[in-house]
Structure 1
Amino acid sequence: MEISLDKHSANQALIKIKLNEADYQPKVDAKLKDYAKKANIKGFRPGKAPVSMVKNMYGTSVLVEEINTILGDSLNSYLKEQTFKILGEPLPVEKENDSIDWKTQKDFDFEYKIGFVENISIPLDKKFKGTKYSIKVDDKLVNETIENLKSQSGKSTNPEVSEAGDHIYGDLNATESGFTKTVSLDLSKITKKLAGKFTGISKEAIVEFDAKDVKKGQWEEAFGLSEEEAAGIEGAITFTVKNINRTEAAEMNQEFFDKIFGPDVVKTEEEFVAKVKETLQGNYDRESKVFTEEELKKTLTESAKVELPEEFLKEWLLRANEGKVTQEDVDKEFPIYAKQLTWSLISNHLATENKIQAEHEDVIAKTKEMIREQFASSGLGSQMEDSMDMFVDNYLKGEEGQNYMNMLTSVQNDKVLAYVQETIDLKEKEISIDQFKELLEK
């Protein structure tokens, strides 16, 4: 047997395997003799059929099976000896007009495409710069949140005369485009000038305005129209009021406190404000942690300069998902796949180089944390703690064990990113929520 490697680019190569009769025939003969001992062929007692007859009946299929086994074992062993990291799976080269004659052919040549990466290098020290973002929850955000909570928990009424901030229910009619629809208009989400036309009016009032008075995005956000509906509206508009909906803000009392945080968690307005701020800060701490880590991933990726075998990977993805995806699907989704694969390679490299390992106990702890967060959002957290082990076990066994592997990978990523932050020069930067939103939009 001969195996050779032909690198034709920095990250793609061709593996050539040559087999001669001595490589496979002894195993084929042994398998046929074993078949002969067990074969039940008409006209012969069990196990007494001649080997030559068994060979005529099963020889080709046994030959194909043994050669495929030899190819698989040899290819895997050869690849394990290489220093580079194989991506995907080797792809057999499909040759045109070159069919194999299994009956007479003695020597066989096979070729496989492979994609790989090598020499991943990420020197981590204090020369490596990073930023740890911290979002500051200020009084403005706290007050806005409290007002929203009061509005959401308030009582709904239907006043006779409208005011700023009301929702106006009625019939929208764009005569030029022939569009009509019954909508609920949120006055807080249109311009003050246009909202002025809807304040101080009563049921059955008809408000006239022009489509150009509605700014970009307000048809969808304020009127609840789809993008397609909004795109066709132009010219003069009439709005016939059918009802006025208003939510009276809830009072800052114990009933309101209990509704938001549960019975007797807070008992005074001061405690309520402090609890809102604490909750907001906790939420934004998690968001800033995720953002910090994503920015670090970008920096690490740029530093590692991993060059993926894009052409090979696209072909492999198409073949591996044959019938499920098209070339267009692969091309469209490849940037996302490439980003995830690159980070996986970097994370595994850093974990190996620095002996970072995800332990079973870490997987259990992280899964419990995830489940607690899910239950907390439904208000059932404290009630489910006694059954936590059962929930964890059921989740990790789900998807035929894939959930466990995904969580194991997640734990490793957490540990790798924690190590990176401890090792590099990480500067803390406090930002406002508005600055954070600007960063997200970039």
Structure 2
Amino acid sequence: MEISIDKHSANQALIKIKLNEADYQPKVDAKLKDYAKKANIKGFRPGKAPVSMVKNIYGTSVLVEEINSILGESLNNYLKEQTFKVLGEPLPVEKEDNSIDWKTQKEFDFDYKIGFVESIKVPLDKKFKATKYSIKVDNKLVEETIENLKSQSGKSTNPEVSEAGDHIYGDLTAAESGFTKTLSLDLSKITKKLAGKFIGISKDAVVEFDSKDVKKAQWKDAFDMSDEEVESAQGALTFTVKNINRTETAEMNQEFFDKVFGPGVVKSEEEFVAKVKETLQGNYDRESKVFTEEELKKALTESAKVELPEEFLKEWLIRANEGKVSAEDVEKEFPMYAKQLVWSLISNQLATENKIQAEHEDVIAKTKEMIREQFASSGLGSQMEDSMDMFVDNYLKGEEGQNYMNMLTSVQNDKVLAFVQETVDMKEKEISIDQFKELLEN
């Protein structure tokens, strides 16, 4: 057997395997003899048919099976000996129809495409600089949140005359295109000038205005219209009022406190304000942690300068998911796939170099944390704690064990990122909510 590699680019190569008769024939003969002992062929007692007859019947299929087995084992062993990291799976180079004569041919040549990356180097020291973001929850945000909670918990009414902040339900019509849509217009999300036309009106009133009076973002935020609908709603517009909806804000009393946080959790307005701030800070602490880690991943990726074999990977994705994805699908999703793949390679490399390992106990702890958060959002956290082990076990066994592997990977990523933050120069930066939103947009 001869195996060679032709690296025709920095990250793609062709593996050539040449088999001669000595490589496969002993195994083929042994398999045929075993078949002969068990074969049930008409005209012969079971196991008494001549090997030559068994060979005529099964010879080709046994030959193909044994050669494929030898190829798979030899290719895997050869690739394990290499210093580079193979991506995806080797792709056999398809031969022309009838290019192999299985009846008479003695030597066989097979080619496989592979994609790979050479050793990954991530320089981690104090020269590597990154930012750890911390979002500050100020009093303004707390006040806005409380007002929103009071509005959400308030009673809904349908007054006869509209006021600022109401929702006006009715039909929007464009004179030029004939476009019409029934919608609920949020007066708090349009300009004060335009909102003024909807204040002090009653049912059946017709409000006239022009599309240019509506700012771009307000079409979605206030009118809940798609880009296609906005294109149709240009020029002179009329809004025929069908109903006026108003939500009266809830009072700051025990009933309101219990509705937001549960019975007896807070017992005064002062405690309620403190609890809102604590909850907001906890939520934004999690968001800033995720943002910091994503920015750190980005910096590590840029530093490692991993060059992927894109052409090979795209072909592999199409062939590996034959019939399930198109070339257009792969092209569209490839940037996200490539980003995740590069981070996976970096994370695995750092874990190997620094002996970072995800333990079973870590997987259990992270899964419990995830399930607690899910239950907490539904208000069922405390009642489900006694059954936590059962929920964890059921989740980790789900998707034929893939959930466990995903959680194992997640734990490793957490440990790698924690190690990186301890190793590099992390500068803490406190930012406001508005600054955080700007960073997200950029």
Give your verdict on TM over 0.5: yes
| Secondary structure of residue in 1 paired with 2:308 | coil
Partner of 2:133: 133
Tell me, which stretches of 5 or more residues in structure 2 are unaligned? none
> How many Å apart are 1:354 and its aligned residue?
0.2
Structure-1 separation of matches of 2:277 and 2:350: 37
Q: How does 1:300-339 map to 2 (within 5 A)?
A: 300-339=300-339
C-alpha distance after superposition, 1:313-351 (max 9, x if no partner)? 111111101111111111111111100000000000000
Partner of 1:25: 25
Partner of 2:170: 170
Task: State whether structure 2 residue 274 is matched by structure 1 residue 274.
Answer: yes
Partner of 1:102: 102
Partner of 1:383: 383
> How many Å apart are 1:250 and its aligned residue?
0.4
Verify the 8 A CA contact 2:173 2:233 in the aligned structure 1.
Answer: no
Partner of 2:342: 342
Structure-2 separation of matches of 1:248 and 1:25: 87
Verify the 8 A CA contact 2:2 2:19 in the aligned structure 1.
Answer: yes
The residue type equivalent to 2:300 in the other structure is: L
Identity of paired residues, percent?
88
Structure-1 separation of matches of 2:185 and 2:114: 59
The residue type equivalent to 1:355 in the other structure is: K
> How many Å apart are 1:98 and its aligned residue?
6.2
- Between stretches 340-349 and 38-47, larger displacement belongs to 38-47
Q: How does 1:108-119 map to 2 (within 5 A)?
A: 108-119=108-119
The residue type equivalent to 2:356 in the other structure is: I
> How many Å apart are 1:235 and its aligned residue?
2.1
> How many Å apart are 1:389 and its aligned residue?
0.6
The residue type equivalent to 2:131 in the other structure is: T
> How many Å apart are 1:112 and its aligned residue?
0.5
The residue type equivalent to 1:258 in the other structure is: D
Structure-1 separation of matches of 2:350 and 2:308: 18
C-alpha distance after superposition, 1:235-278 (max 9, x if no partner)? 22222222211111100000000000001111111100000000
Verify the 8 A CA contact 2:179 2:233 in the aligned structure 1.
Answer: yes
Structure-1 separation of matches of 2:180 and 2:363: 55
Q: How does 1:239-254 map to 2 (within 5 A)?
A: 239-254=239-254
Partner of 1:363: 363
| Secondary structure of residue in 2 paired with 1:96 | coil
Task: State whether structure 2 residue 49 is matched by structure 1 residue 49.
Answer: yes
Partner of 2:185: 185
Structure-2 separation of matches of 1:2 and 1:216: 66
> How many Å apart are 1:181 and its aligned residue?
2.5
| Secondary structure of residue in 1 paired with 2:180 | strand
Tell me, which stretches of 5 or more residues in structure 1 are unaligned? none
Structure-2 separation of matches of 1:19 and 1:377: 62
Structure-1 separation of matches of 2:299 and 2:276: 34
The residue type equivalent to 1:218 in the other structure is: Q
The residue type equivalent to 1:395 in the other structure is: Y
| Count of aligned positions | 442
> How many Å apart are 1:208 and its aligned residue?
1.3
Structure-2 separation of matches of 1:172 and 1:331: 40
C-alpha distance after superposition, 1:43-83 (max 9, x if no partner)? 11111111111111111111111111111111111111111
Structure-1 separation of matches of 2:206 and 2:57: 89
Partner of 1:423: 423
Structure-2 separation of matches of 1:179 and 1:66: 69
| Secondary structure of residue in 1 paired with 2:76 | helix
Verify the 8 A CA contact 2:85 2:119 in the aligned structure 1.
Answer: no
> How many Å apart are 1:204 and its aligned residue?
2.2
Structure-2 separation of matches of 1:307 and 1:426: 27
Verify the 8 A CA contact 2:368 2:392 in the aligned structure 1.
Answer: yes
Partner of 1:122: 122
Partner of 2:440: 440
- Between stretches 302-311 and 179-188, larger displacement belongs to 179-188
Partner of 1:405: 405
The residue type equivalent to 1:232 in the other structure is: S
C-alpha distance after superposition, 1:281-316 (max 9, x if no partner)? 000000000000000000000000000011111111
| Secondary structure of residue in 1 paired with 2:185 | strand
Partner of 2:256: 256
- Between stretches 138-147 and 37-46, larger displacement belongs to 37-46
What TM-score do the two structures reach when normalised by structure 2? 0.98
Structure-2 separation of matches of 1:300 and 1:419: 13
The residue type equivalent to 1:308 in the other structure is: L
| Secondary structure of residue in 2 paired with 1:217 | helix
The residue type equivalent to 1:17 in the other structure is: I
Structure-2 separation of matches of 1:336 and 1:172: 39
Partner of 1:394: 394
> How many Å apart are 1:440 and its aligned residue?
0.3
Task: State whether structure 2 residue 353 is matched by structure 1 residue 353.
Answer: yes
Structure-2 separation of matches of 1:142 and 1:278: 10
| Secondary structure of residue in 1 paired with 2:216 | coil
Partner of 1:148: 148
Q: How does 1:204-243 map to 2 (within 5 A)?
A: 204-243=204-243
The residue type equivalent to 1:227 in the other structure is: D
Structure-2 separation of matches of 1:287 and 1:121: 29
C-alpha distance after superposition, 1:178-219 (max 9, x if no partner)? 122222111001110000111112222221111211111322
